[in-house]
Amino acid sequence: MSDPFMQAAIEEAKKGLAEGGIPIGSVLVHRGVIIGRGHNRRVQSGSVVLHGEMDALENAGRQSANVYRESVLYTTLSPCAMCSGTILLYGIPQVVIGENKTFVGEEQWLTQRGVELTVLQDPTCVALMRDFIDANPTLWNEDIGE
């Protein structure tokens, strides 16, 4: 398989699914080392702010601006407005996205603000979300405010 950091994000997504949650995972990578990993916690913790990306950042803990500016965020799904805003707040310069076929977040806003995006269209990421949304449309809509 391909990128080991995307694989780690996918592991997080699968962990979330196994817990009965929404299968979106993320890892924050600083100079080639994972410093935070996480997955969506809506179901597991009743959280409305811990999307996968937010959970990875929260688990990375308090970091200086320099660390964020040398980091890459990997996420299995295109980041929503909340997660995109957080990427901009902390000045994370690069985001690798598993897929944007099932949901397109604020990619345009990120690109306009100079964030470098790479979309892998990873078939595992697509299948995880497609199957989940088919089976749990109401829960998915809640997660994206619809």
Q: How far is the CB of 2 from its own copies (least distance, A)?
A: 29
Cα(22)–Cα(83) distance, rounded to whole angstroms?
15
53 is catalytic: yes
Phi, then psi, of 119 in degrees rounded to 5: -110, 120
- In the complex with its own copies, which residue's Cβ is closer, 92 or 122? 92
Total binding residues toward its own copies, as defined by CB under 8 A:
34
- In the complex with its own copies, which residue's Cβ is closer, 17 or 54? 54
Of these residues, 12, 53, 99, 106, which one is catalytic?
A: 53
Using CA atoms, how far residue 38 sits from 111, 112, 137, in Å, is: 24, 27, 22
Question: What residues between 48 and 107 interact with its own copies by CB under 8 A?
Answer: 48-50, 54, 57-58, 60-65, 68, 80-86, 88-91, 106
Q: How far is the CB of 1 from its own copies (least distance, A)?
A: 30
Say which residues have a Cβ less than 8 Å from residue 49's Cβ, sequence separation at least 6.
Answer: 82
DSSP, res 138 = H
Residue 25, SS3?
strand
Catalytic residues: 53
